[in-house]
């Protein structure tokens, strides 16, 4: 009875009173009537859960597109609300007033610290863990803490889709059926691309020091223990080679949605699930697909290439990957960095840990073809100190408080302007884009 009251009340609220359709208040209404609502609501025949530190939303978007292009009706928390209210909302929108599921598949992004409750509630057929890295210190603490939270919540009936190159997340769910994916070391790829952060150095089996045979970035790569038998899990799906436009997986070629390594991993994880679920036209579907513009934007404005790369604030791995990507864009460049986490800045309940500023690999921006680095936000002075520690010449650095003034300092004659911005800086990023369009569009 309480379940149906929650279902009907949430639908009425969403239809007549909800002004922000992307919010998760619809789910909150349902949970007010039934705190076990997520357990009680009907699920589609196929449920796919996606969790991990980075890449959850991008992976979910790719998966949702793949299923929709093959005619499936998809329940999906595409607004990024990945706690109980958001998941409840995604299912309610695809449930009839009589409590029957109207979706063929649910693709649900999960907050990694809430998996024990949420996975038990939805009982997914497949669980993707994209990766596990050091994340927001004030909330996530250490990777061991997050790993244990996920591992404790995994239903044994779920099939796990895991990254064999990630020496942490690949250890999840040893009692579950597990399918692994990997990107092989490429011909021209360095054997050891050393990053400031490496979240695993000790063998999880015997405690001896691991030997890394190949490091792609951070702890992503190939390693073994010289004392016991620990090594990377064998991958069933392998990217044997890729270029800027395509990747080859188990001998089959697919269009690349984005040529950054972290997005190749995201696309690969979605491809594996699609293959395991029997989708027939994956390669064709990729041909007409793009990364969501709010997360990646690449467009020629006049004579200037403008690239916007969204990243995850207070996350040194996500930030480092974004910095590495924009540093390797072609031509003479100006880089704009606006990554202050506005959500935490406004919080009255906790103070922010700023160690991530010093854990991020800013050294990659110390290049001859990067003529200017413009950093803005309330902690602009902290970022300037970090850039100086990365040995970027002071004359190349512009540090200001007002994010909306960044374009005033962009140089003439550049080939590329790249903007790295936090998820909560999308309004300022939009202002910067409009100003770049006005300046270079002529």
Q: What is the pLDDT of residue 195?
A: 86
**Residue 51 belongs to what H/E stretch?**
strand 46-51
Q: Give CA torsion, residues 429, 433, 435, 436, to 10 deg.
A: 130
Alpha-carbon distance of 113 to 338, in angstroms, equals 27
Model confidence at 116: pLDDT above 90: no
**Widest CA span of the chain, in angstroms?**
68
- The predicted-structure confidence for 11-31, as pLDDT tens digits, reads as follows 999 999 988 888 899 999 999
Strand partners, 335: 373, 418
> What pLDDT score does 141 carry?
74
Span of 153-162, 285-294, 408-417 with lowest mean pLDDT: 285-294
Q: Which two tokens stand for residue 185?
A: 């070391």
Inter-residue contact 226 to 213 (CB < 8 Å): no
Is the predicted pLDDT of residue 394 greater than 80, yes or no? yes
pLDDT at 78: 87
Quote the pLDDT of residue 175: 95
Which string of b and e fits 232-248 if b means at least 16 CB within 10 Å?
bbebbbbbeebeeeebe
54-105 pLDDT, tens digit each: 999 999 999 999 999 999 999 999 888 899 999 999 999 999 999 999 999 9
- pLDDT at position 37 over 70: yes
- What pLDDT score was predicted for residue 64? 96
Kindly indicate the confidence band of residue 348, based on its pLDDT and cuts at 50, 70 and 90.
low
- The reported pLDDT for the residue numbered 124 is 97
pLDDT, position 283? 96
Strand order in the sheet with 178-183: 74-76, 105-109, 46-51, 126-129, 159-163, 178-183, 237-242, 246-249, 252-255
Q: What is the pLDDT of residue 426?
A: 86
**CA distances for 282 relative to 27, 50, 94, 256, 267, angstroms:** 32, 19, 24, 12, 11
Average pLDDT taken over every residue of the chain: 92
Confidence at residue 290, expressed as pLDDT on a 0 to 100 scale: 83
Q: How far is CA 225 from the centre of its chain?
A: 29
Percent of the chain whose predicted confidence (pLDDT) is above 70: 96
Confidence at residue 346, expressed as pLDDT on a 0 to 100 scale: 61
Cα separation, 395 vs 39, whole angstroms: 58
pLDDT in tens, 322-345: 999 999 999 999 999 999 765 555
pLDDT at position 117:
85
Residue 176: the pLDDT is 96
| pTM confidence score | 0.91
Grade residue 294 by pLDDT with cuts at 50, 70 and 90. Answer: low
pLDDT over threshold 90, residue 434: yes
Q: What share of the chain is helix, strand, coil (3-state, %, to 5)?
A: 35, 25, 40
pLDDT of residue 344: 56
pLDDT at site 126:
98
Tell which residue, 272, 266, 261, 212, has the closest CA to residue 237: 272
17 burial type by CB count under 10 A (0-12 exposed, 13-18 middle, 19+ buried): exposed
Question: pLDDT tens across 185-226, in order?
Answer: 999 899 988 888 899 999 999 999 999 999 999 999 999 999
């Amino acid at each position: 009875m309480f379940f149906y009251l929650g279902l009907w009340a949430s639908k009425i609220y969403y239809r007549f009173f909800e002004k922000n359709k992307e919010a998760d208040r619809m789910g909150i209404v349902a949970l007010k009537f039934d705190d076990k609502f997520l357990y009680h609501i009907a699920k589609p025949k196929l449920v796919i859960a996606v969790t991990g530190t980075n890449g959850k939303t991008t992976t979910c978007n790719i998966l949702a597109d793949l299923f929709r292009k093959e005619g499936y009706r998809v329940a999906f928390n595409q607004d990024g609300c990945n706690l109980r209210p958001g998941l409840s909302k995604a299912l309610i929108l695809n449930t009839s007033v009589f409590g029957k599921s109207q979706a063929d598949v649910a693709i649900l992004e999960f907050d990694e610290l809430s998996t024990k409750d949420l996975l038990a509630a939805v009982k997914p057929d497949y669980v993707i863990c994209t990766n596990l890295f050091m994340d927001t210190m004030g909330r996530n603490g250490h990777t061991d803490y997050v790993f244990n939270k996920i591992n404790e919540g995994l239903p044994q009936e779920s099939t796990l889709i895991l990254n064999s190159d990630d020496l942490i997340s690949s250890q999840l769910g040893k009692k579950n059926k597990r399918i692994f994916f990997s990107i092989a070391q490429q011909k021209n790829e360095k054997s050891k691309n050393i990053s400031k952060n490496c979240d695993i150095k000790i063998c999880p089996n015997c405690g001896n020091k691991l030997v890394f045979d190949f490091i792609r970035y951070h702890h992503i790569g190939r390693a073994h223990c010289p004392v016991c038998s620990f090594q990377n899990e064998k991958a069933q799906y392998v990217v044997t080679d890729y270029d800027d436009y395509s990747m080859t997986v188990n001998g089959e070629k697919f269009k690349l949605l984005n040529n950054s390594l972290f997005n190749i991993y995201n696309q690969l994880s979605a491809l594996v699930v699609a293959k395991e679920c029997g989708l027939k036209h994956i390669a064709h579907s990729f041909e007409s697909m793009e990364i969501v513009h709010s997360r990646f934007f690449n467009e020629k404005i006049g004579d200037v290439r403008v690239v916007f790369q969204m990243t995850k604030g207070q996350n040194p791995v996500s930030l480092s990957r974004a910095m590495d990507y924009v540093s390797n864009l072609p031509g003479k460049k100006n880089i704009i960095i606006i990554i202050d986490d506005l959500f935490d800045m406004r919080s009255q309940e906790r103070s922010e840990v700023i160690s991530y500023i010093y854990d991020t690999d800013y050294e990659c921006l110390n290049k001859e073809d990067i003529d200017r680095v413009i950093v803005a936000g309330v902690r602009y002075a902290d970022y300037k100190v970090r850039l100086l520690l990365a040995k970027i010449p002071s004359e190349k650095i512009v540090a200001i408080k007002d994010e909306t003034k960044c374009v005033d300092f962009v140089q003439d004659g550049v080939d590329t302007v790249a903007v790295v911005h936090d998820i909560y800086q999308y309004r300022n990023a939009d202002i910067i884009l409009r100003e770049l369009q006005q300046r270079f569009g002529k």
